[in-house]
Amino acid sequence: MGIMAVLQSAQRNSDNSDTTSRKSKATSAAKTTKSASKTSKTAASKPTTKRKRVDPETRRMNEALNGLVVEAPAPVIEVKEPGEFGRINIMDVTPGEERGTYPARVEIGEPFKVTAQVFIEGRTKVGATAVVRNPRGRETMRLPMTCTNPGLDRWEVTLKCGEHSDLKPWEDGYAAVKRQLGIWTVTVEGWEDTYTSWLHDARIKVKVEDDVENALNSGAELLARWALTKESGITAKDRKVLEQAAETMANKELSPKERLAAGDNPEIAALHETHPLRDGLSASQPQRFKVERPKSSFAAWYQFFPRSEGATRDPQTGKITQGTLKTSISGLERAKAEGFDIVYLPPIFPIGVTNRKGRNNTLVAGPDDPGSPFGIGSELGGHDTVDPLLGTMDDFKALCQRAHELGLEIALDFALQCSPDHPWVKQHPEWFRHKPDGTIAFAENPPKKYQDIYPIDFNTDMPGIEKEVERVLNLWIDAGVTIFRIDNPHTKPVRFWQDVIAAVTKRHPEVLFLAEAFTRPGMMRALSYVGFTQSHCYFPWRNTKEELAEYLPVTNGDDGYYQHNTFWPTTPDILTAYVRDNGIAGHCVRAVLAAMGSPSWGIYNGFELLENKQRPGFEEQIDNEKYEVKVRDWDKAKKYGVAKMLTALNKIRRSHPAALSYHNLTVLETSDPNILAFARHTPADLTGTGQADTLIVVVNLDGHDAHQAMVHLDLDKLGLPTDRPLNVRDELTGREFQWGWDNFVSLAPWADVAHVLTVQ
């Protein structure tokens, strides 16, 4: 076959390849074929009167290549059904869907990693490209993949679906964000990298003067075919570059090195990087991603009890006057000042009287003990009623309105449990578990007993319970709630939550759900499958370097496509020995780890005031706010400096795209067992600024003594420059340093508990 015949065949193959790669649905392909058939008939009925004009560059190239004989390029092989291979083999695309049922979940604009095995037979080189399409099938991103493990044919790339946004559901412009939510797809395209394969062999042959003429003629043909391939998407200017290079390479009057240089130079290399010749183009099955709204992954939570916010103590009698929803405005303003964007409120419903718990969970309540807000329900109402001691439904709506004015979302705790006084007990006694003697059993988790709570029995009338819960949740959504924190969802049927969340989000797709589920991995994964957007996790108990170095990559890895762990240093239920024993430095350390170790983190108020005394024998605070009203002097927060740290961390998070993702964390090597370091890196293509963003976090885990360590950076792996020192800036102090592969760090708890470094 002559060279011109080959080029004509390549042109036809290119046109077919271009159509195949851009049509993802059979119906679209059928319409294209039908249209093409009509066009061909029309063209056949009319005589051709014009011949396509050939420009001088192309004519000279054709003359230079005339008479050469070359191999045919790898064809595109049609894939007619799932499971068939194309010309290039593509396998094990990650993240993979669970049984093809539950797509991976990402927040809009959140960078995430896709990997795949891409290979071909023999020693031929291949390339890979990832293509992102929105719910309407429109291509929004196309990026080359990088081979990170040649021995395993493993390729990877970092992508994103849509652009990051901080818009709230009630704000102007959110409608445009909402239109981008839903099921997106990522397709991995594999192709024979004919240019790289040729270049590898041609360099060797020219160097050793072996079969040089054939090697250079093959290169000339390849560049000429590349210039004619529409699928490459090259411009007219680039086409001329390739044609001139092909002509030069075919010129036997030049030396072999001169001819090779025409196709082996930075200009051609750059063109290969952006618009490669892709022979044998093959595509994977589209991988689905569920793209969720802002704050589904990247969020900063702040929790306070409304009854304590604004509470006062009479200096004469010591009697406490509890706070209300109206006085809780101060809590909103504090959360805003510290940079948080979600305010989480414990249950605000009426509290039962029967078996009401006293201070520190005692079985007998005093006359002034308010009881636990988790003992829900009294003669005043149940889950659909505001506790009159806090105010009215109008007061709650006003609180939500003020939160929205401050740019804060309101998350409400929903605990599906009832006090013996709850209206449901009389209205629906069949909803509760009974003992053999006919009495209702109180909740137990031996040896723990919850005498103030009746557990619900889902085996008698689950559809009825679902309907009632949906009604209640919709009531609070109408009042201004956009997020629900669900108490102990793992003690209820997964199918129950699946039904409820599906029904609620069908009507209110903007609503998010946080699972307070400290339980087995399988249950936590199942809850994420059925709609829990975020989850509490075991971060509070990961305190040593070894524990954190193991846990951070799990949270920020493939698990993060489903279970979005939110890191809380403390909660009303959790106060660990580490926080108890490490003072101000320990509080700041845990805040840094929480804020920078996960895109989602939260603080329970009082953390700023160093409330770290444990109830003897328990990992929770003494004088626990769950059982009493707290009167706090917030003016004291300044002397500890913890609030200042929280504010700084939230500012850093908002300013750096690298903090947004569950899929970009790398633990770094350090030489001291008390120094933990990790990096977050987002490439320039995905930051929205055109500049790569890298954060390096180094923490001294010892709250009492100074420690020094060497911190090793794998510059290549992190995509950082290797030919010059890195200028880094500590976002906590403003100090600047120069870093490289190995770096000395000294951190003292009385000075700097951590560095949060930005690569300049």
pLDDT of residue 26: 34
Residue 195 lies in a domain: yes
3-state SS of 252-315 is CCCCHHHHHHHHCCHHHHHHHHHCCCCEEEEECCCEEEEEECCCCCCEEEEECCCCCCCCEECC
Q: Are residues 252 and 330 in the same domain?
A: no
Q: Are residues 282 and 209 in the same domain?
A: yes
The CATH number of the domain holding residue 104 is 2.60.40.10
Residue 460 lies in a domain: yes
Q: Which of 255, 276, 292 delimits the end of a domain?
A: 292
Residues in the chain: 760
Residue 262 CB contacts under 8 Å (≥ 6 apart), including other chains: 244, 245, 246, 248, 249
Q: Are residues 579 and 665 in the same domain?
A: no
pLDDT of residue 37: 39
Q: Are residues 263 and 412 in the same domain?
A: no
Q: Distance between CA atoms of 267 and 297, rounded to whole angstroms?
A: 41
Residue 725 is given by DSSP the state P
Whether residue 31 is annotated as binding a ligand: the answer is no
Extract the tokens encoding 687: 């930051």
Cis peptide before 95 (omega within 30 of 0): yes
Q: Are residues 507 and 642 in the same domain?
A: yes
Residue 341 lies in a domain: yes
Whether residue 244 is annotated as binding a ligand: the answer is no
The CATH number of the domain holding residue 737 is 2.60.40.1180
Residue 53 lies in a domain: no
Residue 39 lies in a domain: no
Whether residue 488 is annotated as binding a ligand: the answer is yes
The CATH number of the domain holding residue 504 is 3.20.20.80
Residue 556 lies in a domain: yes
**E strands within 4-124?**
89-94, 104-107, 112-119
Q: Are residues 666 and 649 in the same domain?
A: no
pLDDT of residue 437: 84
Residue 10 lies in a domain: yes
Report H helices in 508-599.
521-529, 545-555, 577-581, 583-597
pLDDT of residue 555: 95
Q: Distance between CA atoms of 717 and 36, rounded to whole angstroms?
A: 48
pLDDT of residue 654: 97
How would you label 210-225 residue by residue, b for 16+ Cβ within 10 Å and e otherwise?
eebeebbbbbbbbbbb
Whether residue 449 is annotated as binding a ligand: the answer is no
Say what the pTM is.
0.88
Q: How many domains does the chain have?
A: 3
Q: Are 411 and 301 in contact (CB under 8 A)?
A: yes
Q: Are residues 415 and 311 in the same domain?
A: yes
Q: Which of 222, 257, 292 delimits the end of a domain?
A: 292
**Among candidate residues 188, 255, 251, the one with its CA nearest the CA of residue 223:** 251
Q: Distance between CA atoms of 759 and 571, rounded to whole angstroms?
A: 34
Q: Which of 292, 322, 342 delimits the end of a domain?
A: 292
Q: Are residues 699 and 627 in the same domain?
A: no
Q: Are residues 250 and 389 in the same domain?
A: no
Residue 42 lies in a domain: no
Domain that includes residue 683, residue range:
659-759
Residues known to be catalytic: 487, 516
Q: Are residues 286 and 316 in the same domain?
A: no
Report H helices in 582-667.
583-597, 637-640, 642-655
Whether residue 417 is annotated as binding a ligand: the answer is yes
pLDDT of residue 97: 80
377 backbone φψ class: left, alpha, beta (φ>0; ψ -120 to 50): left
Do the strands 342-345 and 299-303 form a parallel or antiparallel pair, or are they unpaired?
parallel
Q: Are residues 648 and 750 in the same domain?
A: no
Q: Distance between CA atoms of 594 and 556, rounded to whole angstroms?
A: 12
Q: Distance between CA atoms of 618 and 616, rounded to whole angstroms?
A: 6
Low-confidence residues in the chain, pLDDT < 70 = 1-57, 59-61, 63-65, 67-70, 444-448
Q: Are residues 205 and 331 in the same domain?
A: no
